[in-house]
């Protein structure tokens, strides 16, 4: 594999246990793995807003581990369980984290995610 794995403090378990890097720097791009809105022990809240906020906080933390911020995002892909049911809540949370100029964004409705009960997974590409 070419590139440099980015493993921020607190995210080592994902690399060691699940065998993926929270992010990978390749050239002038940073590829951030999908982040779910989990809390300790991979538990997810029943509240969509809490989950969406936690997912964005994880994206923010992984970016910070590479010395980047949310402003460095150039593309975002989100995977949603119940996309239509939670769209307005997700948009409201997203707008607290993503400012203009806005990155490209694709939202995809899906049936399930890796963590039971998870409603969203957010992956981004940022400038490195």
Q: What are phi and psi of 35, to 5 degrees?
A: -115, 130
What does residue 29 show for φ and ψ, rounded to 5 degrees? Answer: -125, 150
pLDDT at 102: 97
Q: Provide the pLDDT for residue 40.
A: 79
pLDDT of residue 41: 78
pLDDT of residue 1: 56
Q: Where are the domains of the chain?
A: 4-127
Q: Which CATH number fits domain 4-127: 3.40.50.300, 3.40.50.410, 3.30.1330.40, 3.60.15.10?
A: 3.30.1330.40
pTM: 0.95
**Contact between residue 61 and residue 14 where contact means Cβ atoms under 8 Å apart:** no
Residues of the chain below pLDDT 70: 1
């Amino acid at each position: 594999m070419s590139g440099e794995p980015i493993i921020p403090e607190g995210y080592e378990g994902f690399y060691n246990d699940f065998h993926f890097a929270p992010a990978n720097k390749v050239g002038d791009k940073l590829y951030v793995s999908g982040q779910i809105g989990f809390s300790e022990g991979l538990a997810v809240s029943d509240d969509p807003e809490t989950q969406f906020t936690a997912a964005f906080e994880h994206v923010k933390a992984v970016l910070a581990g590479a010395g980047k911020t949310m402003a460095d995002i150039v593309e975002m892909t989100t995977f949603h369980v119940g996309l239509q049911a939670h769209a307005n809540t997700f948009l409201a949370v997203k707008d607290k984290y993503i400012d203009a100029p806005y990155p490209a964004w694709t939202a995809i409705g899906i049936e399930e995610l890796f963590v039971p009960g998870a409603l969203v997974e957010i992956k981004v590409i940022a400038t490195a």
